């Protein structure tokens, strides 16, 4: 996999998610960019980094059908309800593992890496938003970054295939329960 293709796939997915999370409002995009960058790009790169630490080939690949579904659903719900519903399955890190010593553990840790990054970024952004004057334009960036990161962490940890939570729960239900519980509680405290 060439770096140029991976960068293109990440960029296309990032731009689509940015547009969706901005609710198709151009004025909101500058506030949404840091949130989507950390919530989506950092999440996918964390999966890739951990997979590569196991010696696997790993790269992000966009899913064009998912991108079209996301845009279609986003536009339709914006027109019908006035708000954008987000379908966030725009691609994934594809892993080529020619060998696997303990597949459950390796793939469980790889799956956990993305939501763990979202939880860490979300918690840090939540703290930063609490140290910033509420409802100011400066406050909105860390608040939105925390909200999107924590929502994506919780959503991705749901234990249904192909979400990350299904792989984490298959590997270790205790770690999965703690991770989804932390993501949920932090999101609720927003």
State residue 63's pLDDT score.
Answer: 95
Cα separation, 190 vs 173, whole angstroms = 26
Hey, which bits of 22-144 come out as E strands? 57-62, 91-96
Half-sphere exposure (CA, 13 Å, Cβ side) for 115?
Answer: 32
Tokens of 45: 């790169």
70 touches 86 (CB < 8 A): yes
What tokens appear for 97 in the block?
């593992």
Please give the pLDDT value at position 89: 84
Catalytic machinery residues: 44
> For the chain, which residues score pLDDT lower than 70?
1-2, 100-101
CB within 8 Å of 132: residues ≥ 6 apart: 138, 139, 142
Determine the pLDDT at residue 100: 64
């Amino acid at each position: 996999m060439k770096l140029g293709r991976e960068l293109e796939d990440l960029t296309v997915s990032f731009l689509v998610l940015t547009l969706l999370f901005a609710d198709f409002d151009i004025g909101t995009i500058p506030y949404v960019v840091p949130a989507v960058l950390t919530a989506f790009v950092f999440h996918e790169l964390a999966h890739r980094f951990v997979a590569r630490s196991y010696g696997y080939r790993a790269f992000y690949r966009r899913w064009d059908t998912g991108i079209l579904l996301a845009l279609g659903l986003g536009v339709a719900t914006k027109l019908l309800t006035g708000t954008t519903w987000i379908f966030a399955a725009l691609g994934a890190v594809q892993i080529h593992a020619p060998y696997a010593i303990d597949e459950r553990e390796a793939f469980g840790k790889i799956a956990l890496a993305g939501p763990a990054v979202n939880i860490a970024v979300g918690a840090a952004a939540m703290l930063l938003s609490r140290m910033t004057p509420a409802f100011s334009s400066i406050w909105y960036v860390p608040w939105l970054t925390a909200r999107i990161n924590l929502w994506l962490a919780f959503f991705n940890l749901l234990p249904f295939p192909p979400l990350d939570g299904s792989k984490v729960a298959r590997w270790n239900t205790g770690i999965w329960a703690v991770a989804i519980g932390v993501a949920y509680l932090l999101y609720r405290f927003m």
